[in-house]
Chain A
Amino acid sequence: METIVQVRDLQKSYGHVRAVDGVSFDIPVESCFGLLGPNGAGKTTTIEMMEGILTPSGGQVLFRGKPIDRHFKEKVGIQFQSTALPEFITVKETLEMFRAFYPDPRPMDEVIDICSLADIISRDNRKLSGGQRQRLLLALAIVPYPEIVFLDEPTTGLDPQARRNFWKLIERIRLEKTTVVLTTHYMEEAQLLCDRIAIMDHGRILELDTPENLLAKHFEGVVVRVPAGAEGNETMELVTSNLDETMKSLLAEQTNLDGLSIHKPNLEDLFIKLTGSSLRS
């Protein structure tokens, strides 16, 4: 499959903090690529180097086989993790301004329609709610008919309903054959939206594959959780491919089974397993 972005041994250091410590991956055209990782893993740093916003300390990013040139910005849509919008102007004026920046912008009506901005169109940017803001920021990202959009934690801080709406939006954009790169802390989101997922921690990529392969590779069977510890306030987690045997041995050890849960493993479990968050609890 054709590759739109190639990342080669990308590095970024701040003093002796190695924010990104040599990551490499390819993003197939028209795919959705997810970057997952705990706070401080290096997701934002990686994605901003791919956007051409940060200069790498080492390695390189290739867009359609070539280093990023000055026309690159006309073909990408970017939504930062945190951005202020120009003040004292309305949503519509903001969109108009950004439309003027690109040689061949998307028509206003289409932007408004895709991002459901009709009812807030004449509202001052400063008076938008968190979800409305995210919709406007995404709208700005899709103004140029981008070949690729970079979304850094687009759904952080949204309520579950707003998050679902946002997923629909991203699916709508993908219908236009736009490649999507996103970072998120929500595993269900990555599992639902992404074709390929990279799990990062400490500036390195720990795993990179499709959600299905990742789960198949790391988990055979199901996850069993039982309360443990003196007051039952800790959790013991078992991954087993033979549930029958596991249950029998638990009973034999006279484990208290109140609060037992059994589920098929999801990315949440994988995330905890890989980034060692379980060790911290």
Chain B
Amino acid sequence: MKQFAAMFKARTMEFVRDRGTFFWNLLFPIVLVFGFAFAFSGRGQELFTVGIVTGASETAPDLLHFLEIEQIEFVEYPSVATETVVERLRRHQLDMVLDLEQSEYYVNVESPNGPIIEMVLGATGGVELERREVTGEPIRYVDWLVPGVIGMNMMFSCLFGVGFVIVRYRKNGVLKRLKATPVSALTFVTAQAASRLVIVVATSIFVFAGTDLFLKFMMNGSYLNLLLITTLSILCMISVGLVFASRLRSEELTSGLMNLVTLPMIILSGVFFSLEGSPPVMQRIARAFPLTHFTEASRAIMLDGAGFLEILPNVFFLVVLTVALLLIAALLFKWE
């Protein structure tokens, strides 16, 4: 325990005193969040978007004119529950939803586009449809983005802060010196991981709170669940870092391999863009990445108000993956 505390302290001080890394870890994500908040502050698209649930246009010949309007983008949701599509309407991602089977249409009364498109529908013969109202604030891009940016920052900080640093210790002989003391490899590794866990949880909270102060993110769920999924994801990514750190002794090779892992995660885990429309193969690959589970669960909590039960599959995946990776790292680990 004394050994653990001593190494924990040394590693944490190293992080705090290494000004470059320290500010990079804090400022980079903050700048990114603000940058995107301003870049996407206007409405992304000019078109009106209407979601269509079930049925094809043939079943509603009286809507033909409406469905031919070029300024409206129609998105079909053939096998999706109406409620899911209506949820998008609540978030202002759609301007209207047509449920042709039930002969209903939904509008969001809080959306400025709602009345306009309703008039267009009325003028082109959609009068027989029954009107349903929903309410809901818009999700700004930045509300959706902030978990992605924080997740990405977590990933870099965990992989490089644990993996890369231990490889450097091995290369320059710090590990060899520690091997010559009574400290066990397990104590050393857990101290490194614990220090990083505290650092990354703290920086993530700082980045979130700091940007939330100005941008007031949508938060429909519980902060406790958000903290839980954050901590688990950080542990999981630290374990990824530890697997890298277990054997490698070349910094160049390590950073190459880490880029090989982080790049697909950034692209496929939906950090910047939603993967909803992407090929199923890519979506299936993305299920294997811890970052995917973090962005998915934290967005579910923040935007959809998901509770613990709804994020349980993500929690389960992260726990299992973490345990598996830690076992692999422990089996592979060599001081030299």
Contact = CB atoms under 8 A, between A and B. Distances in A.
Interface of A: 51, 53, 70-71, 73-74, 76, 78, 80, 82-89, 93-94, 96-103, 140
Q: Max chain B CB contacts within 10 Å: which of A70, A82, A83, A87?
A: A87
13 contacts: A73-B182, A80-B176, A86-B10, A88-B13, A89-B13, A93-B9, A93-B13, A96-B6, A97-B7, A100-B5, A101-B6, A101-B181, A140-B177
Interface in B220-267: none
User: Which of A51, A70, A101 has the most chain B CB atoms closer than 10 A to its own CB?
Assistant: A101
Contacts, number: 66
Interface string B183-220: 10000000000000000000000000000000000000
A79 to B, nearest CB: 9
B10 A82 contact: no
Given A74-B182, A98-B181, A102-B181, A84 B173 contact: yes
A89 B182 contact: no
Choose among B172, B173, B176, B182 the residue with the greatest number of A CB atoms under 10 Å from its CB. Answer: B182
Contact of A87 (B6, B14, B183): B14
B180 A73 contact: yes
B3 A101 contact: yes
A53 B2 contact: no
A96 B2 CA distance: 11
Given A88-B17, A89-B14, A93-B13, A101 B183 contact: yes
Classify chain B: how many residues form its interface, as a range. 20 to 34
A74 B183 CA distance: 9
Contact of B180 (A80, A86, A89): A80
**Residue of B3, B6, B10, B172 ringed by the most chain A CB atoms within 10 A:** B10
A185 to B, nearest CB: 20
B276 interface: no
B80 interface: no
Contact of B2 (A87, A88, A93, A100): A100
B324 interface: no
Contacts of A94: 10
Given A86-B174, A89-B10, A101-B183, 15 more contacts: A73-B180, A80-B177, A80-B180, A83-B176, A84-B169, A84-B174, A86-B10, A87-B14, A88-B13, A89-B13, A96-B6, A97-B9, A98-B181, A99-B6, A100-B2
B174 to A, nearest CB: 5
Contact of B3 (A76, A89, A100): A100
Contacts of B173: 80, 82-84
Contacts of B181: 73, 98, 101-102
Nearest to B336: A53
